[in-house]
Chain A
């Protein structure tokens, strides 16, 4: 369980979070969405203990990330968007770093490397960005840590790798594990993410399960533009208009993440009212 209470954080000149409250339950893949500069990476770094909150507290499975205790770090895998790897082979990397993770599974690591088509002979620093990322994802999943923080994990992955990544991530989902994926590429992970958290201007403006979203919002395809006040968000498509509206009649529809994101960003106050009325998390 992740509990963030009244968290405030600022870089030297810029206040990013003010009184942020958030709680994430284990057993799901939480999608962290937000515009550029909204604070997604900063929030992940705060959870990883790489940045410290100015006020407020973060508790992750009973640990304070600020302490960077070995017990907490053994359960943590943080994959930043920009990372470096030492000039060693995958086998040497395993030899150097796996002893720090008591739950590391060598078999799982080897099988993930095979799935990701990563060969053992080459040194890691000679890998392409996508290969490096796949390697780190494989290592991270093999550690069997309970908290995985992935910052833009599908950036730089080719189409087959994205599908392998989805498969690998889905297979590691367990009741006591929390995966938080920060991404701009919402479509890559649409099928996996639940719940969805959206942050904007240092505030969490949305934190709902996909079930709650389906029960409260619906998507309608219509030939003409929506009437005033009728739609929460609309987008012109080749066939007409795609409209997101309140789901008063429990109609089943699929709202994609990009539409949801735009709806929430453009109508945060109204969305908040809609979800306050039961059904939310």
Chain B
């Protein structure tokens, strides 16, 4: 295995294996429940001979978010636990290996596992459907754009929850959401105030939304504030898509490095 300075792929894989092994009961129960739910939801269409049993990508997204976020909260709980924490923190592997293993487990392993699970379920459904209706269904395609986009959005959202799970000892999910709400509120008020002060003349009121920006008369004016606004929204989109998750990972890793228990 590749052994870089301070990072051993072997140890990282061992940690992932351990997490998978120790969470196996939870995963099996969750997936069985998901399969059951899928069966119940698709039952009507199934017997009607519908072309698609269920909108797989949507259901995949729902299950991915529920499973991924709960498993993130569950796995990172250990580090705050006075009883379990010392054993995990003193396990011979670097902080980077520990962090990476949990990141990979909660993102790639969970998402890839679910893709395989959905593909197998769709294959099963296909078989049963063919026996009952003698017609073919659409299989779950893990490489469909929608599925990949959902997975990508999940990884971004998960990174934030993971950061919350590393920071907060109790109820990290709720506390992370509350923190975001507070940050967004404060940020919105500050931005709105700044816009009102500096670009007040270009807007009709404080509610600066896409609709206002799209008013043709305003767009035609080719105003500097409009350009600035476009740049801001573009930058925010870029940051969210490409930099937000890595930023959360870096902060999370730093926090884990200095974790005391």
Residues of A within 8 A of B (CB): 45, 48-52, 68-70, 73-74, 76, 78, 80, 82-84, 86, 88, 92, 96-97, 99-101
Contact = CB atoms under 8 A, between A and B. Distances in A.
A202 B90 CA distance: 25
A84 B88 CA distance: 11
B196 interface: no
Contacts of B159: none
Nearest to B18: A96
A94 to B, nearest CB: 12
14 contacts: A50-B85, A68-B89, A68-B90, A68-B95, A69-B6, A70-B11, A73-B90, A73-B92, A84-B84, A88-B22, A92-B21, A96-B18, A100-B93, A101-B92
Contacts, number: 64
Contact size class for B? Answer: 20 to 34
Contacts of B92: 70, 73-74, 76, 100-101
Nearest to A100: B92
Contacts of B124: none
Contacts of B40: none
B22 A48 contact: no
Given A68-B95, A82-B82, A96-B18, A51 B87 contact: no
B28 interface: no
Contact of A86 (B22, B97, B261): B22
Interface in B84-106: 84-87, 89-95, 97
Contacts of B97: 70
A68 B94 contact: yes
B120 interface: no
B90 A50 contact: yes
A68 B98 CA distance: 11
A73 B258 CA distance: 16
In the A-B complex, list the 10 residue pairs whose CB atoms are closest, starting with the nearest. Answer: A73-B92, A84-B83, A74-B92, A100-B92, A84-B84, A70-B92, A51-B260, A96-B18, A50-B261, A78-B90
Given A96-B21, A100-B14, A49 B90 contact: yes
B81 interface: yes
Nearest to B89: A50
Contacts of B81: 84
Contact of B87 (A70, A83, A88): A83
Given A51-B260, A70-B93, A82 B14 contact: no
B8 interface: yes
Contacts of A96: 17-18, 21-22
Interface string B6-40: 10100100100110011000000000000000000
B90 A48 contact: yes
B91 A73 contact: yes
Interface string B162-178: 00000000000000000
Contact of B90 (A51, A76, A86, A99): A76
Contacts of B87: 83-84
A96 B95 CA distance: 18
Given A50-B86, A78-B86, A83-B83, A73 B260 contact: no
Contacts of A73: 90-93
Nearest to B95: A68
Contacts of A48: 86, 90
Contact of A50 (B8, B11, B91, B260): B260
Interface string B94-133: 1101000000000000000000000000000000000000
Contact of A97 (B86, B91, B94): B91
A57 B261 CA distance: 18
Contacts of B93: 70, 73, 100
Interface in B144-158: none
Contacts of A101: 92
Interface centre among B8, B81, B91, B261 (most CB of A within 10 A): B91
Nearest to B8: A70
Contacts of A49: 89-90
B11 A100 contact: yes
Contacts of B22: 86, 88, 96
A98 to B, nearest CB: 10
Given A84-B84, A96-B21, A70 B260 contact: no
Nearest to A143: B92
Contacts of A68: 89-90, 94-95
Contacts of A100: 11, 14, 91-93
